[in-house]
Structure formats: structure tokens, C-alpha cells
Structure 1
Amino acid sequence: MMKIDVVSLFSGGGGLDLGFKKEGYNLVWAIDNNPNAIATYKKNVHENAICGDINEINLDDIPKADVIIGGPPCQSFSLAGNRNVEDARGQLVWRYLEIIEHVQPKAFVFENVTGLLSAKNSNKEHIIELLKQAFRDRGYTINAKVLNAVEYGVPQKRKRVIIVGLRNGETFDFPLPTHGEADGLLPYVSVEEALGDLPAAVVDENARVKYLTEAKNGYQKLMRKNAGEDVSEHFISKLSELDKYIIKHVKPGGNYMDIPADVKSERIRRLQRDGGHTTCYGRLRPECPSYTINTYFNRPNVGCNIHYSEQRLITVREALRLQSFPDDFEIVSTSKQGRNLIVGNAVPPILAGVIAKKLREYLEGEND
């Protein structure tokens, strides 16, 4: 297998990197400004990672590599935000370009949220088109596509913009979906298929919980492949009495419309009256994939985070499973929200692996 060196920018906890590592890539250097993310990365991916401000890094300190991967922080382009592309987070996109120009990799993989597609600068120009042209100006043939992780075996509907650039003049063809409802495709991996073998969640945040059953399907076997006899991060979030009341009334696949109208929450009554935000206060359906796992899955009011059969929210381990992180992946964090940020911001490793496998075909073909 050809040795392919990779530099990772805005690496987070390493979801994208894990996919490339699984496909045999050699991860030589990574950077992120989140200390918890870097500590997690070092524990699970490799030690060649630094915590720092990417704008202050001397470009000459970044090692040469065949591939650069990474997604600049996406809040500026998030559909949930104000899409202010002039702020510092938006400008990090252009730092990514500077590094591409300096390192001159054979290929790059750029990941971001779908809000990037509609983001404009102060001159009303579409950022995505400026970005594509900037990559072309630096000698890359590029292809961009919105990929949905659920179509590649991840038990989660999660759409992301992926741009792949090649310096050899070829155009990267994205891998075709493997899962879906069309003839010839595998069925989507459901929430219950993803989580059904996990033991009962516990109260102790630091406890390791032993598996009580064997893996029941291919996805569970894949998640447990290197995990041993127990699993971490499988604890119950603390709930207020209001949260407990809400969870008690929401049925699988339901949301705030299931909650009695006398609930002591003006926000819920407003949602019931005006509609919108249909995943808020949602409970997962066992027979379907989950909705997008965000950074607030420890709350019932931000997304569909209620367990499909138990009267609680999903655990960190369950969120990791829905993101396709293996059970031997352990988070290092000084805070609960720091832990959730690592999970919710990550690229699903299975999706990353699919892209990495396809990209290897181009790089090995070029080498031949």
C-alpha cells in the first residue's frame, strides 16, 4: 500500500482523521485551538498534534504532505447562525487556502456545513464560488458535493459540503451512495440497530459499563471491534423536573406537539402555536436513522435527542455511536460541554473513510 502523508487542519477530536487512518493514510501533523479536542485527538488518533492558533503558526513549521484535510470552524456558515462571513471564523477559510498554497499537497479534502452554499460576503458574492476559484487559481481541479452521511452507512442524517481538489488535472468523482431506499442499495442503518446492544446507562460520568449482550448486527460489531468488555461515556444527563415532564409525553418520532398545552414553558407553547423547528423536543424513532447530532444533544430543546425507548436523553456514547465513532474512542475533556462539542462538531469517521478510500485510488493511480 502506497504511503500517503496527511496534514490535518482544524482537526477537532479527529473524526475526519480516523477515517483516513483506517484507510492506511499516514497522519503526520494536526492542529486545533481547542485543548480538549487536542487531548482527545492525541489519545485516540496520534501524538503529532498541537494546540494553537492556526493564524499564528509559521507556515514553514507545517510538514510537507501528500494530502491536507480539514474543515474550518463552520459557525459563520451555519444555517442556525447569522452567516456573517466577515468575522474571524469566516476568515479562517482563507487561512486554509494559504496553507494549501504553501504545502502544495497532491490533494486536499475540505469539509463544511451546507450553509456555506448560500453564504455571501459584503459584496453579495457567493463564498463557495470564490473558494472554488481560489483553489483553481492554486492549480487544483476541484469537485464539490453535498454528501449525506446516512447514505454511506452512518445511522444519522447529516449533510455536509465536501470539496476535493487534485493537482494532477483529474476531477475527483465522489463515491456513490451505498445505503438508501432505491433498488440495489443497503437499507439505512437505524437508531436501534446502532444502539440496541448498549447496556443500561448509568449515573456516574466516570464509570465504565460492561456489555451485557453480544453484538446483534454488522454495525454493532464494527463499533465494538476493539472495545474489550466495557464502554465509557455512557452516563445519563441530569434533567430538570420540566425536562422529565416533557420527555415523558413525547412519543417516538414525536416532538413538542405531544406535550400537554399546560406545560410550564412559554417556548413550547409558542412552538405549538407557530410551528417550525420540528425536531425540537424530539424523540428518536428506533426504526429510522437519527437527525443531525449537534453540540447540545444533552438538552431536549435543541434537536431530536430523546432516547427512542427510555425516559432520558441520549448519552455521550450513544451520540458517538450515531456519529460512527468506535466504542474504544474515549473523550478527554475538562467540561461536559467541551465533551459535547467534540462529538457534535465531528465528521463521522465512516463517511471520512469512504472519501479516503476513493481518494486513494486517484493518488495510487497517479503514482503508477
Structure 2
Amino acid sequence: MTESRPKAIDLFCGAGGLTQGLSDAGFDVLWGIDHEENTKPTYDHNHDHEMTVGDIRETSPPDLGLEEGELDLVAGGPPCPTFSLVGRSKINSLEGQSTTTDERHQLYEDFLRFVAHYEPKAFLMENVKGMLSAANDDGEDVVDVISGQMEDLGYEVTVKLLDSADFGVPQHRERLFFIGNRIGVDNPDLDEWKTHRPPSNEEEKQIKFNTAGGPEEENQESLHAYTEEEEKEFPHFEESPERRVPWNTVADAILDLPPVSPNGETPPTQAEEYTMGPVSEYQYWIRGRPGPDEWEGRTLYNHECRGHNMRDLTLYKLLGEGTSYIIGDIPEEHQPYRSDIFPDKLKKQNPKEPSTTVVAHLYKDGHMFIHPTEARSITVREAARLQSFPDDFEFPVARTHAFKQVGNAVPPLLAQAIATAVRKTVLGISQDSTLSPEADD
């Protein structure tokens, strides 16, 4: 008998990075919500279920067509900007109250309001690293307060700080994850699900060339269709893997993409076609595992960077591999900004390392994300690859909105890793059929 795909919803969904990871891990995402109107074109373009634009504080949980307790997972990353206001309110009292008039209201409370309403088997909540060291006005640790509220709802809670690079994402991005379940099992130990590690020597920092076969090989959609002797196709998530491989790097992620000024235009503009096939295993995966000629003639989406003036281009050229300047360190006559007001950095990403954290600030300027080999800032597609969005995930919005959406997202590959651990460890669903949308047919 075929198991159906577990059901989930995505709160504070943005463009859908977490949704993408949940789907790739075998979940059927039923609904998403975000307050930012510009995320809807992107979300709708890449996902086929309803996404609501609105203030979650004023939104009642919708009817998902499920029986009581049938929802498997509530997931989301609520903003939590004012840690000092986190208090020990009774979450179950939020069900009928107006939260918009409470200045102490925190959006994570709405996450828990939805958990209280649906009573899912499990939840997954993402937040910033700074929560770990934050205290409220009463001197209580914020993480302890929030965990206590989750436990009051009947959930066993685990809190873990994770770096996305440890799960195959070519980017250092530390985020805090709360995992809870109410079905009496242990939450996954996510340290045991890590697939990647720091390199141990210079050789391990080099690009990891793809050795996988093309589509003429047996289709390996399943994450479980391997023998112990077979090389496991990227990505592969399992508890306590036999070996972990070196981190994926900027080179692994983006150096197969064509220059954005193929005819020498200044400033750099965009490129709309691939000019070579994938080189690394990560590139091969992120393109959708194409065959030897399948990349030819395919449209390359969002490979566009902002325009640069000649001063910026010259400054970018001065930077060596993986080096950075504080704005104030640059001679005054070459300053892009007043150093007393904008203590920012110019940083060229190191091709031999995971990138620094991709941030939403990219929509304002790209000075901290200068291409490792070209005198320009990175494109939307390059930022998306560093976040592990597949190449067929399009951002059909203005470039500034696209950069912001990429920077705000949960890396899909990290989300897939955690969701796979939850699916297997908590929900006990490990059959290959859950990884295919046809599993419910």
C-alpha cells in the first residue's frame, strides 16, 4: 500500500524557499501566507497551491479540508525583532483575541496560534542566531520562554543552531531551528544528519567535479535507492552517514554560469543562455541533472546584476580572491560612501569557500558580494544558487525585489535536510513513494 505524502503549511513563506525544501523532502504543502505582496508572483509561479498575502495577525487559520489532527507539519520563520518584549503569555488565549492592538505582540505567537489550532504532529520554526543570547525585559532567556510556550501546547521541543554549509548549501548561514512533536517520539538530532564538513586540506577546497551519469542512467529520484557500495547522488540525507564530504564552495555553485557581459559591455548587464554544461556535482544537481546536451538552448533565468559605475568596477578589480576592504580603509578619493556614515565592506567572495551569508541587503547594493573572477557584484541567479534555489526556480519580479526575496529565504536544501529528518524520525515515513507527487494517485 502506497503511503500518501505528509501534509504541511508554510507561515511567513516569502518567495517559498522553505516550501521548496519541504516539497523536495516529500511533503505536500497545502497553503502559505506572507505579508509582502511582491512575494506572491514568485511563490505562485513556482508552487501550485494557494498562497495568501495578508497580515497573519488578522488571519484566521483556513479550512484545509483535513480532519482534526491530520496536518503533519506547521513550518515557518516568523520575524522576531524585539526580543525584549517576548513574554510568557498564554498562547491558547490568542485564539480569539485581537493581536494588532497589543504592542507587546510578537509574530512567533501567531505561529504558535496556528499550531494550537491545527494541532499538527510536528512543527518547524526558524529564526535568527541572535535569539540564543537574547533576554526579555524580565531577564529571562528568550529561547527558554518560547520553548516553554511550545511545551505548554503539548510538544516535545528541541532547539538547534545550524550552519547551512553543513548540509550542502554553498553558503555559511547560521540559523536557529525549533522542532517540536506531540506524538511521543524523540526529535531528530540534526548534528547526526549533517552531510558536509570543513575541508581538511587545500585539495578538498577545489571544485568537486561531477561524476554522475546522464539521464540514460537509471533514474534515481528516490533518496533511498542505493546499495551500501554505490556512490550516493547529491543530495542524500540520512542519519549518521558513513562519511561527510567537504563543504560546497562558491566555485562549486556558480562558476559554470556565463559572464553577464559576454560581448564586453560596460557596465555588466545580463546573460540569458548557458554557454557550457555543468562542471561540479552541485551545478549538475541545481540545473536539474541535465544530460550531455540538455543545457543547450535552455533559458537561463535571472542571471542579471545591477549596473556599476566605473569607480565601483575599478574597486572590485582591486580586490584579491576572498579579500575585503572596510569602506573606511580605502583612500578617501576612492570612497564610494562617507566612511563615517557607511562603515560597510567591499568583499570579493572566495571561490574555494562557501559564501558569506546571503542577505536581503543585496537589493540595495552588492558590495559585499563581488564575483570571484569578474569585476561586478553577483546576479540574482548566482545569489539564488548560493541559497540552493534550483535554476528552474524563477523570480518573475523586479531585480530589487528578487534580491530581497532570495536574501530573506530559508535555503531550500537546508529545509529539505531538516524536513527529511522530521519525516523519517518523527513521522516515521521513509518509503520512497513520498518523494513523488504521484504518490497519492
TM range (shorter): 0.7 to 0.9
Q: How does 1:260-271 map to 2 (within 5 A)?
A: 260-265=330-335
Tell me the residue number matched to 2:392: 328
Indicate if the aligned counterparts of 2:78 and 2:111 stay in contact, CA closer than 8 A.
yes
One-letter amino acid of the counterpart of residue 194, structure 1: A
- CA distance in 2 between counterparts of 1:89 and 1:347 reads 26
Tell me the residue number matched to 1:73: 79
1:265, distance to aligned residue in structure 2 (A): 2.6
Consecutive unaligned residues in structure 1, runs of 5 or more: 78-82
1:43, distance to aligned residue in structure 2 (A): 0.8
Tell me the residue number matched to 1:293: 358
Farther-moved stretch of structure 1 (340-349 vs 53-62): 53-62
Indicate if the aligned counterparts of 2:423 and 2:429 stay in contact, CA closer than 8 A.
no
Tell me the residue number matched to 2:34: 32
TM-score in terms of structure 2 length:
0.73
One-letter amino acid of the counterpart of residue 240, structure 1: N
Please give the secondary structure, in 1, of the residue aligned with 2:115.
helix
- CA distance in 2 between counterparts of 1:46 and 1:206 reads 32
- CA distance in 2 between counterparts of 1:132 and 1:44 reads 33
Farther-moved stretch of structure 1 (318-327 vs 173-182): 173-182
Indicate if the aligned counterparts of 2:269 and 2:307 stay in contact, CA closer than 8 A.
no
Tell me the residue number matched to 1:283: 348
Q: How does 1:1-368 map to 2 (within 5 A)?
A: 1-59=3-61, 61=63, 64=66, 65-76=71-82, 91-175=106-190, 176=192, 177-181=194-198, 184-202=243-261, 209-225=272-288, 229-256=298-325, 260-265=330-335, 280-297=345-362, 304-333=368-397, 335-365=398-428
- CA distance in 1 between counterparts of 2:326 and 2:5 reads 54
Indicate if the aligned counterparts of 2:171 and 2:357 stay in contact, CA closer than 8 A.
yes
Indicate if the aligned counterparts of 1:69 and 1:109 stay in contact, CA closer than 8 A.
yes
1:99, distance to aligned residue in structure 2 (A): 1.1
1:360, distance to aligned residue in structure 2 (A): 0.9
1:364, distance to aligned residue in structure 2 (A): 4.0
One-letter amino acid of the counterpart of residue 220, structure 1: Q
Please give the secondary structure, in 1, of the residue aligned with 2:56.
coil
- CA distance in 2 between counterparts of 1:308 and 1:68 reads 39
Please give the secondary structure, in 2, of the residue aligned with 1:263.
helix
1:121, distance to aligned residue in structure 2 (A): 2.4
Indicate if the aligned counterparts of 1:85 and 1:119 stay in contact, CA closer than 8 A.
no
- CA distance in 2 between counterparts of 1:301 and 1:208 reads 18
1:248, distance to aligned residue in structure 2 (A): 2.3
Farther-moved stretch of structure 1 (207-216 vs 36-45): 207-216
1:367, distance to aligned residue in structure 2 (A): 11
1:92, distance to aligned residue in structure 2 (A): 0.5
Indicate if the aligned counterparts of 2:86 and 2:145 stay in contact, CA closer than 8 A.
no
- CA distance in 2 between counterparts of 1:94 and 1:251 reads 46
1:68, distance to aligned residue in structure 2 (A): 0.3
1:24 and 1:246, CA in 2 relative to 1: closer, same or farther beyond 3 A? Answer: same
Higher RCO (C-alpha 8 Å, min separation 6): 2
| Deviation string, structure 1 residues 263-306 (Cα, Å, up to 9, x no partner) | 3438675699xxx87xx21101111110000012256676x300
1:63, distance to aligned residue in structure 2 (A): 5.8
- CA distance in 2 between counterparts of 1:225 and 1:294 reads 25
Farther-moved stretch of structure 1 (163-172 vs 305-314): 163-172
One-letter amino acid of the counterpart of residue 7, structure 1: I
Farther-moved stretch of structure 1 (168-177 vs 83-92): 83-92
1:88 and 1:46, CA in 2 relative to 1: closer, same or farther beyond 3 A? Answer: farther
- CA distance in 2 between counterparts of 1:91 and 1:105 reads 21
| Deviation string, structure 1 residues 20-69 (Cα, Å, up to 9, x no partner) | 10122111111111122122111112231111111111235466521100
Farther-moved stretch of structure 1 (65-74 vs 255-264): 255-264
Please give the secondary structure, in 1, of the residue aligned with 2:29.
strand
Indicate if the aligned counterparts of 1:67 and 1:106 stay in contact, CA closer than 8 A.
yes
Aligned residues: 356
- CA distance in 2 between counterparts of 1:297 and 1:138 reads 38
1:212 and 1:90, CA in 2 relative to 1: closer, same or farther beyond 3 A? Answer: farther
One-letter amino acid of the counterpart of residue 71, structure 1: G
Indicate if the aligned counterparts of 2:424 and 2:430 stay in contact, CA closer than 8 A.
no
1:128, distance to aligned residue in structure 2 (A): 1.2
Indicate if the aligned counterparts of 1:15 and 1:325 stay in contact, CA closer than 8 A.
yes
Indicate if the aligned counterparts of 1:210 and 1:231 stay in contact, CA closer than 8 A.
yes
One-letter amino acid of the counterpart of residue 66, structure 1: D
Please give the secondary structure, in 1, of the residue aligned with 2:110.
helix
Farther-moved stretch of structure 1 (200-209 vs 172-181): 200-209
Please give the secondary structure, in 1, of the residue aligned with 2:57.
coil
| Deviation string, structure 1 residues 188-232 (Cα, Å, up to 9, x no partner) | 111011111111215899976111111112100111017862211
- CA distance in 2 between counterparts of 1:31 and 1:51 reads 6
Please give the secondary structure, in 1, of the residue aligned with 2:123.
strand
Please give the secondary structure, in 2, of the residue aligned with 1:306.
coil
Indicate if the aligned counterparts of 1:147 and 1:159 stay in contact, CA closer than 8 A.
yes
TM-score in terms of structure 1 length:
0.87
Q: Matched residues, percent identical?
A: 32
- CA distance in 1 between counterparts of 2:316 and 2:85 reads 35
Consecutive unaligned residues in structure 2, runs of 5 or more: 88-101, 201-242, 432-441
One-letter amino acid of the counterpart of residue 348, structure 2: R
Indicate if the aligned counterparts of 1:208 and 1:230 stay in contact, CA closer than 8 A.
no
1:366, distance to aligned residue in structure 2 (A): 8.1
